[in-house]
Copies of this chain bind each other. A is one copy, B any other.
């Protein structure tokens, strides 16, 4: 499944990510990882202590990618609302779901403190980062001073994660898009009010 140019270690990590996504931790066997990676058992145990070590590496990489994708939108110049909008409206494979959020539904990942840590930390980081952006918007007079940045940030992350749930239930991205539009409209109305008060 991978070109010969990619080394075995890399193929093993990517195969584990794909299998965790498709089958969950319990359904991912060392043998299946090796087969998908086109790597032997010796190669796997040369690079990794075992399935748990590989899963941890795979989950950490997924978490880092989510963080980098969020930071790319949240750190651009512009208003707080513009940055939050860019983040929420970025292209997503809505029906597939969030690669990090979905791990909360894997009981074996949640029951293992090491595997769970990157999931917990990434969602906590996302809330803190959004709260920081909202705080900047509040300090700049762009957002209402009564807005509570940490609570609003939790709302935004929950809308995203819950939007995926609604999309999955309906089989379309529509409720996800609606939920995003709804929270952005609430924030936009606030920004408009705050601007009016400043004027």
Contacts and interface: CB of A to CB of B under 8 A. Distances in A.
Interface stretch (A5-13, A45-53, A72-80, A187-195): A187-195
Chain A interface secondary structure, helix, strand, loop or mixed?
helix
Contact of A182 (B123, B124, B152, B161): B152
A187 B189 contact: no
A183 B164 CA distance: 18
Size class of the A contact interface (CB-based, 8 Å): 35 or more
A139 interface: no
- Of residues A144, A148, A151, which shows the largest number of chain B Cβ atoms within 10 Å of its Cβ? A151
A189 B120 contact: no
A191 B151 CA distance: 18
Interface string A145-167: 01110111111111111111110
